[in-house]
Structure 1
């Protein structure tokens, strides 16, 4: 079942009207830290239980951060500090205890319990004041130890069945543990603990891909901003045919993002297609009769958007898009509906791809599907549903199953002959969807009509 939660915005809401909805930095920080604690209390226990890993260790050095680190720490901790080690222990009661094996005053207070309280070899003048859980805090002296000795002590205390470390041959997001740190951790563990070490791949991906209730609620509004940004760029407010170039439109959107405090996560693209020529490469002046295509993605409240939409520049005497192009839009919309109709919990990305391609071809569509997860990252963790150059399935990431409460960038194209243009168009579209409760929702709708430029 497909539900469109919001009507698609076509030049009805200015992107500037969203300015008052974008929170100041201080309020964003407070909100994100609140969301983090909720995610740690609800999502992480479920993901660890599902993965069968009851002890998860995340370790990285400053400026060589694990891709997950920023999603696990409060906003104030912008990088790892020296060597940062976080340890998560799933207890029998279902609660995940969170420990920080790192130096004090790095922004983890209130979220993690500090357990490396008496660093061996340190020469701080007032160590007890800096280490509140040391001698003065508990009435007894904590053991003098290195970070790795502390890690061994905490793992011994937790006595887990499986110890997950971040190494993976499939997902880069789950491969954030450096070789040197892997060796240091393994050297610190005793022989019994070493036997328990496994890849934390499923914990990493599950943590990254699962959206909380608050994030799912916010995603619609964030996607409204994406639609409104494109609607303004693909309008007469920005484009003057015969004068404006596609690069002008691209940089208008990039500048608008920076002005509003939105973070572009890739270099935007605006391309031009025209009769008899098909795609025009490089920077070109936009002409009447051109078909414009954009690819735009930004990050707000740690959530990414990824959107491709299309516009038509009216020729003299025209009041609407030619019927042939309207049919192309209907075809790509149909391919979108076909693709998400095959989303099912437990089905792999490759299974979704194969069944969607099969149905589309049976309906006479020439499809290409390359849909990807979206969330904390643009090309995010989760099941890959095709790549543009791998339509027979993607080994590894394509074998990963779909889970509930996840988001995807529904990216695809179809080839359509446009006889009046004497070309075959590769017509692409991309919009973000939410998969929750076994249903797929278009976040803030989708494009079903061309933006018109007079």
Structure 2
């Protein structure tokens, strides 16, 4: 609860959010239709080529000579999915990939062999001998998925096949895999970000329709109904998703529990409810992640009738978004960003939690973590990685606010994706929520009763 001594801070919070209105979406989001699969293939393969062309620069940055990846079908290395062609649905036989920082004369910067005979090893050894690489990165990190995707049996086989000379030069450099996956290709005329904006706009459009009277009838519709409406809409649009949508009623459901019940009951939505959704779409090799809030208007109510306590809670969450984004400095660790953000939040007189993650090829992608829901002091290992540029992030958090109208403290959850712009600047991919989605009442019939559509 805000004490009297925090009144000036609260006023400053509201004013700062008011100034930031330009960060909200400037028009109603529309559904973005995806191109044909054939067109998508050309787009994503161009991004893949750009990413592979950048690998030598990353190897030089971390002062290593080569990067060796090996996998089998159904036992792919995690980074395989960011380096494969669009028409590759899995690794085949043994799939070996080798990347060189500074190829010797007559050699290439990248190699890929698909074979299940001893010839694959002789091909690899020929290149290693010609290059005489002094350090060869292998993905065997114990903590970071994007740097630890080599299966244990595969490592044993590689060591046996290449011999003591080359296995003695194997090194673990986790930032290679992290940076390769975490660095977003620019694409032709920046088309990767353009398409990512389209995905985000579509996610906003889906949430806007789901949180409307077209989908929700108070007293009848459940939160689970809305979740499955979203799943059906995603499929109808030829998108997919990377997690089950979660719709909850703030103050009634246990959203945010790090160990939620798999059979959590879903509630019927009623007038006056504050709704929350956690939702993401997947398409063209990219993922989004968004959390928005909605209010169910009573019959005859308009936006001005939203409880003031709800309005202030949303503005606090907006302020926390600004604090985190302002503290996202390239090269800082996620733990340092977390500490500075929480300190600033406390100094401004309110409470909340911060748990931001990289996004892109994966929903939870490669890069440093800025807190986790249950880890607000520091995140071991992943929180110690440096923040990279040329990447996308989900700014995920909540602010606490005592709502006088309900006589209880509620958590106001928000999540929006940002993209790196330049220096230490980050911008919202589509915008950020600054006003509640509104569920209006159905029109009344001649007798004055609100009609449930079947």
TM-score w.r.t. structure 1 length? 0.85
Corresponding residue SS for 1:99:
strand
Quick one: which of 176, 179, 185 aligns to 1:203?
176
Query: What's the secondary structure of 1:263's corresponding residue?
Result: coil
1:412 to 383, 394, 397: 397
| SS of equivalent residue, structure 1 residue 227 | helix
1:273 maps onto 2:256 in alignment: no
Residue 72 of structure 1 is matched in structure 2 by 83
Q: Which residue is equivalent to 1:8?
A: 25
- Structure 1 window deviating more from structure 2 (70-79 vs 89-98): it is 89-98
In 1, Cα distance between equivalents of 2:25 and 2:330: 27
Contact in 2 for aligned 1:151/1:188 (Cα 8 Å): no
What SS does the corresponding residue of 1:270 show, helix, strand or coil? strand
CA shift, 1:380, in A, is: 0.9
Distance 2:20 2:137 in 1: 38
Match of 2:102 in 1: 91
- 1:92 Cα deviation (Å)? 5.7
Deviations 1:345-373 (A, max 9, x none): 11000000000000001101102000001
Greater shift after overlay, 190-199 or 229-238? 190-199
- CA gap of 1:233–1:9, structure 2 versus 1, over 3 A, is farther
1:287 aligns with 2:270: yes
Q: Secondary structure at the match of 1:102?
A: strand
Cα distance in structure 2, aligned partners of 1:3 and 1:449: 12
CA-based RMSD of the aligned residues comes to 2.2
What does 1:114-153 align with in structure 2 at a 5 Å threshold?
Answer: 145-153=118-126
What is the CA deviation profile of residues 48-105 of structure 1, one whole-angstrom value per residue up to 9, with x for unaligned ones?
21122221111111011111112112111110101111111121699961111214xx
Q: C-alpha distance in 1, partners of 2:158/2:211?
A: 53
- Unmatched segments (≥5 aa) in structure 1: 104-118, 121-144
| Residue number in structure 2 paired with 1:216 | 193
Q: Does 1:297 pair with 2:283?
A: no
Q: Secondary structure at the match of 1:216?
A: helix
1:57 to 68, 71, 76: 68
- Do the aligned residues in 2 keep the contact of 1:45 with 1:96 (CA within 8 Å)? no
* Corresponding residue SS for 2:340: helix
Contact 1:14 1:232 in 2 (8 A): no
For structure 2, list consecutive stretches of 5 or more residues without a partner in the other structure.
1-18, 256-263, 441-454
CA distance in 1, matches of 2:392, 2:332: 15
Kindly indicate whether residue 174 of structure 2 is the aligned counterpart of residue 174 of structure 1.
no
Q: Does 1:32 align with 2:18?
A: no
* Alpha-carbon shift at residue 3 of structure 1 (Å): 9.2
> Is 1:352 the counterpart of 2:337 in the alignment?
yes
Verify the 8 A CA contact 2:21 2:434 in the aligned structure 1.
no
- Structure 2 length as normaliser, TM-score? 0.85
Provide the rounded CA distance (Å) in 2 between the counterparts of 1:342 and 1:309.
23
d(CA) in 1 for partners of 2:235 and 2:122?
A: 45
Conserved in 1, the CA contact under 8 Å of 2:354 and 2:370? yes
Deviation at 1:422, TM superposition (A): 1.7
- Which range is displaced more, 153-162 or 245-254? 153-162
Report the equivalent of 1:111.
none
**1:46–1:6 Cα change, 3 Å:** farther
Q: Tell me the equivalent position of 1:228.
A: 205
2:427 maps to what in 1? 441
Q: Does the aligned pair in 1 maintain the 2:330–2:387 contact within 8 Å?
A: yes
CA contact 2:335–2:379 (8 Å) conserved in 1: yes
- Correspondence 1:401 to 2:386: yes
Describe the shift of the 1:190–1:3 C-alpha distance in structure 2 as closer, same or farther (beyond 3 A).
farther
Aligned length: 406
Find the residue that maps to 1:239 and give its secondary structure: coil
Check conservation: 1:4, 1:443, Cα contact below 8 A: no
Q: CA–CA distance in 2 between the matches of 1:3 and 1:441?
A: 12
Structure 1 residue 183 corresponds to structure 2 residue 168 = no
Instruction: Select 1:336's aligned residue among 318, 321, 324.
Output: 321
* SS class of match (1:218): helix
Per-residue CA distance 1:196-242 (angstroms, 9 max, x = gap): 11114211000110112132333222211111110111111111111
Aligned to 1:307: 290
Distance of 1:405 and 1:393 partners within structure 2:
24
Confirm or deny: 8 A CA contact 2:199 2:281 kept in the other structure: no
Instruction: Give the CA deviation at 1:195.
Output: 2.3
